[in-house]
Every structure is written in structure tokens, then in C-alpha cells.
Amino acid sequence: MSNLSNPLGILSFIGLLTLSNVFMTFAWYAHLKNLSSKPWWIAALVSWSIALLEYAFQVPANRIGFQYFSLGQLKITQEIITLSVFVPFAVFYMGEPFKTDYIWAGLCLLGAVYFMFRS
């Protein structure tokens, strides 16, 4: 389905999806560092609040992206952006060591990109 005729639309899709993933990553994982001493329900409420912002970017991103890509292509693009956001988050924000496993996972995703975008 890939229709690459509007680079601005595609860049809007990627930009909004990247912003969405930044919020999603913080909603899913930042409470492990910042709210670990609080009850789980407080972490859930904070995470849900952040996730609302995530959806404010994700829904329009996917609506824009679906004009150019198939559903499978949208999902693979989201997974690549997720890994691209998660690795710096894990290393710089959470203080995790960088692992070569991130590289191997990225290469596997490149294989997925090939299969989803080859037609």
C-alpha cells in the first residue's frame, strides 16, 4: 500500500508517533524509578495521566499514517520508533547499561521492515 507521495504527511506521522512513544515510554516505565516507594495505584494514576497525552499524539499519528501505509506497516514503524525511543530512555534516564542486544533487536526489526515494505 505504501504511498510515499506526500513527504510532509509521512514526516508528520513519524513525528507525532515519536512524541507518542516518548510519553508511552515514560508512562510505562518511569514509575519504576520515580514512584517505586508509592502504592501501585498512585503509579497507575500517574501513568494513565501520561498515557492520555500519549494517545493525544498516537491517534492522529495513526490516522495520518494510514493514508500512506497499510496497518502492518504502521505497526512495524511504531515498533522501530518504540525501540529508538526506549534505548536512550533506558540508558540515559533509567541508568541501564547499553547492551549489544539492543543492536540485535534493531537488526531483527530491520528484517521486519523489509518484509512489511518490500511489495
The answer to the question of residue 1 being in a domain is no
Q: If 0-12 CB within 10 Å is exposed, 13-18 middle and 19+ buried, where does residue 76 land?
A: buried
Check pLDDT > 90 for residue 1: no
Q: Which of 23, 31, 25, 16 is nearest to 62 (CA)?
A: 16
Sequence-distant (6+) residues with CB within 8 A of 94 are 29, 32, 33
> How many whole angstroms separate alpha carbon 87 and alpha carbon 83?
6
How large is the C-alpha radius of gyration of the chain?
16
Tell me, yes or no, whether 2 lies in a domain.
no
Residue 27 falls inside a structural domain: yes
| Overall domain count for the chain | 1
Domain span at residue 80 reads 7-117
Global pTM reads 0.88
pLDDT band for 114, please (50, 70, 90 cuts): very high
pLDDT 10s digits, 30-84: 999 999 999 999 999 999 999 999 999 999 999 999 999 999 999 999 999 999 9
